[in-house]
Amino acid sequence: MKKILALFLAFLCIVGTSCGRSMNNVIEKEQNFTGIVAEVKDSYIMVNVSEDDPLYSSCNIMIISLHEELKECYMNFFVGDEVVVYYDGLIRETDPPSVNRVHAIILKTP
């Protein structure tokens, strides 16, 4: 039930009902990658980057802060969720690598 609710909230964010023009702007203009949530912590998630994503050749796992710019679109993530991460295009050289600035995290499929 929680996953269905999360998917519904993601849909609302995508169509702009709850996030307005800002979300549309992020989706159209910001870099993004797709991956599967591998670990969930209080302030971040670890995401296994999809093998078919161009980012995978650089790094296959990323730390993604949950302090994203569009906080009204935050959802509770679970291990195994497929997400799309919209970010500023910069990757920090941490171990494992992390995204510099997260604009939004959208649940693609539970």
**CATH number for the domain that contains residue 76:** 2.40.50.140
Judge whether 68 and 103 are in contact, CB under 8 Å: yes
Distance CA 25, CA 103 (A): 10
Which domain does 74 fall in, by range? 2-109
Query: Helices in the chain by DSSP H: which ranges?
Result: 2-15, 20-29
Q: Which residue has the tokens 């050749």?
A: 57
If one counts the domains in the chain, the total is 1
Q: What is the pTM of this model?
A: 0.73
Q: What pLDDT is stored for residue 73 in this prediction?
A: 61
Identify the band that residue 80 occupies on the pLDDT scale cut at 50, 70 and 90: very high
Identify the band that residue 62 occupies on the pLDDT scale cut at 50, 70 and 90: very high
